[in-house]
Amino acid sequence: MQARPSTAPPPILDMHVHVVGNGSGGTGCWIRTPAWRWPLQAFMARHIGLPVSALKGDLDRLFAERLVELVRGSSLDAAVILAQEQVYDEHGKLMEGVGTAHVPNDYVFKLARENPDIFLPAASIHPARPDALEELDRCLAAGAVMLKILPNCQNIDCNLPKYRRFWERLAEARLPLLAHTGGEHTLQVVRPDLATPRMLKLPLECGVNVIAAHCATKSGLFDPQYFDELVAMLEKFPNLYADNSALNVPIRGRVIPRTLAPGIVERLVHGSDFPVPVKGVWAWMRGLVNWKTYHRWESHPNPLERDYQLKLAMGYPKETFTRINGLLRKPRPATT
């Protein structure tokens, strides 16, 4: 993201935006689509304005172009775009055939170089990889502003002592960690027990600024609800934050009123979880927005703008949308 005048207000960021690709453009991305997941992926494609045929066609190009269009057409100043690591076992061996999607670090760096005014790159690295520290240093040199992991999907037990040096290196580099917490039904879950925010204890103790994605909420009806555990950890760890990504969905959104409470709202940052669908009907049904607001934004063609405006209307203060600026590592020119 390009430098702003010192007198300018802090930029409005969506810090949780996924990149998706199928490798059609030589990006190294891939998606595995079991038959039962196809309707969901088709719905998500249509929701962001892509034809369903894109999923088996030129998805790399079409998705990237659409994302650029949506960010530029929104109230956002920029978006943090996320790489997605593959799945490894605890010994650092790649688990072949496991995982729903992969987005290489180099691809998000490339997109950020091509669109430096609107994209900030977040790397994704499994700490069990034999070259994890080397890859981390490489990504830092390439301009990574954050690290993203999904412990329950990528088989990452963050509290394993052997990962301590990896977390210490993040803390030294002031690279924040965005970690999925709570239920998950879009991607394959490998370790359901790693959905709890308690698995973030070691990185927090190492001094990493950690962001618990989705406020540790349940995604499906039968998922455990970890929000109260998150609240307790917020009281204990001043370097723990949470994002409000994917809260405009039917089940996660139940906690929205509680996220607006003093002591919690001051630790929130804004994310959409794009391309996860954004539906305002749930906020309206809960009385969080009025009919006029719901009707105006539900029909808006830009899901990034819809998510942002609905959250403003729910009462999230403006600092929620700019607080992440103080946590992200300052971008540096790519050297690789």
- Given a cut of 90, whether residue 335 has pLDDT beyond it is no
Of 168, 90, 179, nearest to 128 by C-alpha is: 90
Residues in the chain: 336
| pLDDT computed for residue 222 by the predictor | 86
Residues 254, 207: Cα–Cα separation, whole Å? 31
Query: Which domains does the chain possess?
Result: 13-326 (3.20.20.140)
| pLDDT computed for residue 35 by the predictor | 76
**5 CB burial (10 A radius; 0-12, 13-18, 19+):** exposed
Q: What is the mean pLDDT of the chain?
A: 94
Average pLDDT over residues 63-89: 98
Bond preceding residue 331 cis, omega within 30 of 0: no
Residues 106, 40: Cα–Cα separation, whole Å? 27
pLDDT tens digits, 80-115: 999 999 999 999 999 999 999 999 999 999 999 999
Indicate the pTM of the whole model.
0.95
pLDDT band at 326 (very low <50, low <70, confident <90, very high): very high
Contact indicator for 289, 313 with CB cutoff of 8 Å: yes
pLDDT tens digits, 187-231: 999 999 999 999 999 999 999 999 999 999 998 888 999 999 999
Contact indicator for 19, 63 with CB cutoff of 8 Å: yes
Give me the residues paired with residue 78 across strands: 13
- Given a cut of 80, whether residue 4 has pLDDT beyond it is no
- Given a cut of 70, whether residue 6 has pLDDT beyond it is no
- Phi, psi torsion values for 225, nearest 5 degrees: -100, 115
| pLDDT computed for residue 148 by the predictor | 98
pLDDT band at 260 (very low <50, low <70, confident <90, very high): very high
- Given a cut of 70, whether residue 253 has pLDDT beyond it is yes
- Given a cut of 80, whether residue 7 has pLDDT beyond it is no
- Given a cut of 60, whether residue 62 has pLDDT beyond it is yes
pLDDT band at 334 (very low <50, low <70, confident <90, very high): very low
Give me the residues paired with residue 213 across strands: 180
| pLDDT computed for residue 5 by the predictor | 63
| pLDDT computed for residue 332 by the predictor | 52
Q: Which residue has the tokens 């990962």?
A: 163
- Given a cut of 80, whether residue 302 has pLDDT beyond it is yes
Using a pLDDT cut of 90, give the percent of the chain over it.
89
Using a pLDDT cut of 70, give the percent of the chain over it.
96
- What is the CB neighbour count within 10 angstroms for residue 26? 9
| pLDDT computed for residue 336 by the predictor | 41
DSSP 9: P
| pLDDT computed for residue 109 by the predictor | 98
| pLDDT computed for residue 40 by the predictor | 84
Q: What tokens does 10 get?
A: 């802090």
